[in-house]
Amino acid sequence: MRKLFGTDGVRGTANVHPMTADMALRIGAAVGRFFRREAGGVHRVVIGKDTRLSGYMFESALTAGLTSTGMNVLLLGPVPTPAVGLMTRSMRADLGVMISASHNPAQDNGIKFFGPDGFKLSDSAEMEIEALIEAGVEPAKPGNIGRAKRIDDARFRYGERLKASLPREFRLDGLKVVIDCANGAAHRTAPEILWELGADVIPIGVAPNGENINRGCGSTQPETAIQTVLAHGADVGICLDGDADRVILIDEAGTVADGDQIMALLATRWAAEERLSGGALVSTVMSNLGLERHLQAHGLSLERTAVGDRYVVERMRAGGFNLGGEQSGHIVMTDFATTGDGLMAGLHFLAEMMRSGQTASTLTRQFEPVPQLLRNVRYTVGQLPLDASAVRTAIADAEAALQGKGRLLIRKSGTEPLIRVMAECEDEALLVRSVDGIVDAVSAVIAA
């Protein structure tokens, strides 16, 4: 069992265990020792971050830990998470690090790791790193201490890679696009790229102050973006999260489309062009049953994984698939990227708008979703509400009621202290009763 690592690195409230400067230093030393090659040569790590105030603290602490083991550190500054995966490979680094808590509020932060291939680490690698953190790491000799250097053009390199994933002749002339950058890592990159491609760009969430990332903006709070699309008569809205690895879309009528609809569009389009590897899309257990039915109707299959984009990527790599993602908006295109890339997915959606001449509202209605209800219950770290007999009884009752009519998924979030209760059923009254019964039972146990 991993103690520090969740579904996407180490994450928590800044200055509260495990997200302290001391722990970041220890993590840096441990991961530096884990990745440093025993033979000679340059030992290099790239570090990116989003716009949280605590990012400065963790950047310095990680740099200290990594250089203490002989790693040379290349500081990218604020860049999207997929840029770190890209730069890890392109700069021939042993390791990539992203300091971000993704869609979480500003008081949280996290540390994500990429291997030399640009892909996120496996569970087994994280367990080995945890063992090194617990045991302690012997520092390098004084003459072998690493150096640190700032890289000033990381976001430009990333931007060129994004544009290279599109046809050379692709332009966005005449398209009015609202881009919500969540006051996060893509606040400069995303509007610049859209403008360079010829779009009429209306940017929001582009004034980070260290404390407003994801606040009232971004993929988890799209209300401002919806209002902006409607007020400006925009053709489409693109909402990123704090580290720009996920995206949701807003059509010209102000309706939100999630990752399932985006994946449905890309999968069927790629299949028609004979470039969907393996005839399948990879997604998680959270994806809507309507997506699975839509794919089957087109002769395609849906490969389901545990929740977490890195589990999606692991299945993609193992099965030779090149398209996957999550309902939450992580879209992974391994022909071009090593992890979820919200801006890249948004650009490929715009490319399909321009190619087909169809509106966003048409393209984001690929299938009729089966009614799905997700509710979250926050608990205190250390509590075990799912082990309570009253909760187990409520779950059993809901499973019995949904038997043959729908499905139920209850899990602890890997990134926040939340119990997530999700059910899917075409009988909406039964759907609500099933979820409410479990949520009420969990809430009662937490409050006791």
Residue 376's CATH number: 3.30.310.50
Q: Are both 277 and 306 inside the same structural domain?
A: yes
* Same-domain pairing of 246 and 343: yes
Question: Which of the residues 68, 102, 219, 287 is marked catalytic?
Answer: 102
Residues 291 and 415 in one domain: no
Q: Is 357 left (phi over 0), alpha (psi -120 to 50) or beta?
A: left
Tell me which of 337, 369, 401 is where a domain ends.
Answer: 369
Q: Are residues 270 and 365 in the same domain?
A: yes
**Percent of the chain having pLDDT more than 90?**
90
CATH number of residue 63's parent domain: 3.40.120.10
Asked whether residue 234 falls in the same domain as residue 250, the answer is yes
When pLDDT is averaged across residues 244-265 and rounded to a whole number, the result is 98
Mean pLDDT along residues 303-330: 95
- Does 5 map to a domain? no
Q: Residues 359, 378: one domain?
A: no
Whether residue 70 sits in one domain with residue 47: yes
**pLDDT tier at 417, thresholds 50, 70, 90:** confident
Kindly state whether residues 361 and 409 are assigned to the same domain. Answer: no
| Judgement on whether residues 332 and 209 belong to the same structural domain of the protein | yes
Q: Which residues of 265-299 are buried (b: 16+ CB within 10 A; e: fewer)?
A: bbbbbbbeeeebeeebbbbbebbbbbbbebbeeee
Q: Which of 261-270, 363-372, 373-382 has the lowest mean pLDDT?
A: 373-382
Active site residue 54: no
- Position 115 in a domain: yes
Q: Are 242 and 283 within one domain? A: yes
| Whether residues 96 and 210 fall in one domain | no
Task: Please give the average per-residue pLDDT across 215-220, as a whole number.
Answer: 97
Higher pLDDT, 411 or 273: 273
The reply to whether 293 and 358 lie within a common domain is yes
Number of domains in the chain: 3
Q: Report pLDDT for 205.
A: 98
Confidence of residue 37 (pLDDT cuts 50, 70, 90): low
Give Rg (Cα) of the chain: 22
pLDDT band at 2 (very low <50, low <70, confident <90, very high): confident
Going 424 to 429 to 433 to 439, the CA torsion angle's sign is positive
Examine the fold and report which residue of 335, 350, 369 is the final residue of a domain before the chain moves on: 369
- Find the domain containing 242 and state its range: 173-369
Is the whole model's pTM more than 0.85, yes or no? yes
**Confidence bin at 38 (pLDDT 50/70/90):** low
Going from the C-alpha of 221 to that of each of 240, 328, 333, the distances in angstroms are: 10, 12, 25
